[in-house]
Amino acid sequence: MEKIKLYSRFERFWHWTQMALVILLTITGFEIHGNYTIFGFEAAVRLHNASAITFILLGIMTIFWLIVTGQYKNFVPTREKFNEQLKYYTSGIFRGEPHPTKKSFGNKLNPIQRITYLGLLIMIFPVQTLTGVLYMFYHYPQNPIDASGLWIAAVLHTFGAFIMVAFVIVHTYMITTGHRINTNLKAMITGYEEEPAEEHKTENQTA
């Protein structure tokens, strides 16, 4: 096996902080909806709002970092090996076939992951942010407005929350699909991923 540098310190900080915020936003969000009681309604609202503001600031910082470092290219969709990756996920993975897409620092995501993450970045996250901010300012007593026009925002925000829950479940499963069950998780902790040396060498020679 050969160690390959995949994730910088900032990427790992961004990933784990974002994960913690998404989990906290989900837990407090559904509590605000009255599904259960953990923190209490008022505390849940305060935690939810604070987490949302932190998430927005982290997002702005991350977008700046992606542009400056050129790492945004990892999220640009591509048709290269798309069919191979789809076939791998639907059948090849269950037969122990090798991954069709080899990772590198400039190519962290396979074609399907690129589309999925880009969708989160340009659709789900912005919608959640916009609808959340509208709903947040409505609830402040110093700014009372008619809530009849915000029901769409509330519905979209809740729908986006369910999509995020579904993503977290799928993402957690996909973590286990590396060369070993802990390969992907370990890479996001250390920054390095182990791949078969022969495969990586062949990829470099081809490039």
Q: Which CATH number fits the domain that encloses residue 170? A: 1.20.950
In-domain check, residue 155? no
- Residues 56-72 have a mean pLDDT of 93
pLDDT at residue 202 in the model: 45
Handedness of CA 150, 46, 29, 185 (dihedral sign): positive
In-domain check, residue 19? yes
Contacts of 38 (CB under 8 A, 6+ apart): 27, 31, 44
Contacts of 27 (CB under 8 A, 6+ apart): 38
Q: Which residues pair with 104 in a beta bridge?
A: 107
In-domain check, residue 109? yes
CA distance 189 to 12: 7
Residue 206 has pLDDT above 80, yes or no: no
User: pLDDT digit string (tens) for 78-105?
Assistant: 988 899 999 998 898 888 888 888 888 8
Pick 90 or 199 by higher pLDDT. Answer: 90
Residue 158 has pLDDT above 50, yes or no: yes
In-domain check, residue 143? no
Handedness of CA 160, 165, 168, 173 (dihedral sign): negative
CA distance 181 to 196: 15
Token pair listed for 176: 């286990």
In-domain check, residue 80? yes
**pTM confidence score:** 0.82
In-domain check, residue 117? yes
If 0-12 CB within 10 Å is exposed, 13-18 middle and 19+ buried, where does residue 122 land?
exposed
Q: How many domains does the chain have?
A: 1
- Residues 65-76 have a mean pLDDT of 92
Read off the DSSP letter of residue 99.
P
In-domain check, residue 85? yes
Mean of per-residue pLDDT scores for the chain:
86
Print the domain residue range for 31.
2-130+162-206
Token pair listed for 166: 């579904």
In-domain check, residue 60? yes
Residue 141 has pLDDT above 60, yes or no: no
Split at pLDDT 50, 70, 90, the class of 204 is: very low
> What percentage of the chain carries pLDDT values higher than 70?
88
pLDDT at residue 189 in the model: 93
CA distance 161 to 12: 23
